Amino acid sequence: MSTGHRVAVLAVAKPVAAGQVITTDDLAVADISTDPMLTPISSGSRQNVVGRRAAVALEPGTLLVTADLNDTPLVAADAQTVGLDLKPGQMPGEKLATGQKVTIVFTPDPAAGASQSNAQPTTIGATVTRVGSPDNQGAVVVDVAVPGAQAATLAAQAATGHLALVLGSGGGSGS
């Protein structure tokens, strides 16, 4: 009997990256049959959604739910974004996503000799803020947010190409 009852809810009109602020243009209204298994946001709550951030990547045609929303920016006030130009082998083959916690590991320079290659590697915890498209050799630019005090060190290391990105908790020691 309730399948004939329809409600207006918010749907995603165009792609929204995780961390991006949601605008009116990002939203559409969908009329759906009510179902206790679905908990989409009512179309009347649009003003409560616009201006908030996407907690995950939002795809067009999906219904918007409260768990899709976040008020925290991906890059904290005390953090900075560093771009890493990573070749295959410097990152996992698994697809990276905005918001993922990663660890950046400084890898030894082969020209530095055995003393550096035997040392405990420096690591920095980071959050992925953007993943570019691979170039024709498979290299990808990955933007990561790191504590501001570690940004310059990471940028300098990134310029050498001697680093690797590891999926994980992002709890790098910065040592």
Predicted pLDDT of residue 172:
45
For each of the chain's 175 residues, which pLDDT tens digit applies?
445 788 999 999 999 988 889 999 999 999 999 888 889 999 999 999 999 999 888 999 999 999 999 887 777 788 999 999 999 999 998 888 888 899 999 998 777 665 555 668 899 999 998 888 899 999 999 999 999 999 999 999 999 999 999 997 544 444 4
Please tell me the distance from the alpha carbon of residue 93 to that of residue 84, in angstroms, as a whole number.
Answer: 16
Predicted pLDDT of residue 116:
55
Please give the DSSP secondary-structure letter assigned to residue 66: G
- pTM (whole model) above 0.85: no
Please tell me the distance from the alpha carbon of residue 115 to that of residue 112, in angstroms, as a whole number.
Answer: 8
**161 φ/ψ angles, rounded to the nearest 5 degrees:** 80, 5
Is domain 2-70 classified as CATH 3.90.1210.10?
yes
Predicted pLDDT of residue 29:
96
Instruction: Pinpoint the residues of the chain covered by CATH 3.90.1210.10.
Output: 2-70
Identify the residue whose tokens are 């498209």: 133
Predicted pLDDT of residue 115:
57
Beta-sheet strands, E only, within the chain: 6-12, 27-33, 53-54, 69-70, 79-86, 101-106, 123-131, 140-147, 163-167
Per the CB < 8 A criterion, the answer to whether 172 and 103 are in contact is yes
